[in-house]
Chain A
Amino acid sequence: QVQLNQGGTRILKSSETLSLTCGVSGGSLSGYTWSWIRQPPGRGLEWVGDIDQGGSTNSNPSLKSRVIISVDPSKKQVFLNLSFMTAADTALYYCARVVDNYSMDVWGKGTTVTVSS
Chain B
Amino acid sequence: QSALTQPASLSASPGQSITISCTGASTDFGTSKFVSWYQLLPDKAPQLLIYDVTERPSGISSRFSGSKSGNTASLTISGLQADDEADYYCSSYRSNNPFIVFGGGTKLTVL
Contacts and interface: CB of A to CB of B under 8 A. Distances in A.
Contacts of A102: 34, 36, 93, 99-100
Contact of B98 (A47, A94, A96, A108): A47
Interface in B56-97: 57, 89, 91, 93, 97
A103 B98 contact: no
The 8 closest A-B pairs by CB, nearest first: A102-B93, A103-B51, A103-B36, A47-B100, A45-B102, A107-B45, A44-B104, A107-B46
B89 A44 contact: yes
Nearest to A109: B45
B48 A58 contact: no
15 contacts: A44-B2, A44-B103, A44-B104, A45-B89, A47-B99, A47-B100, A61-B97, A101-B34, A101-B51, A101-B52, A101-B93, A104-B36, A104-B46, A109-B43, A109-B44
Contacts of B103: 44
B99 A94 contact: no
Contact of B102 (A4, A44, A106): A44
Interface residues of B, number: 26
B12 to A, nearest CB: 21
Interface string A43-55: 0111100100000
Interface residues of A, number: 25
Interface string A88-108: 000000101001011111111
Interface string A15-45: 0000000000000000000010100000011
Contacts of A4: 45
A116 interface: no
Nearest to B52: A101
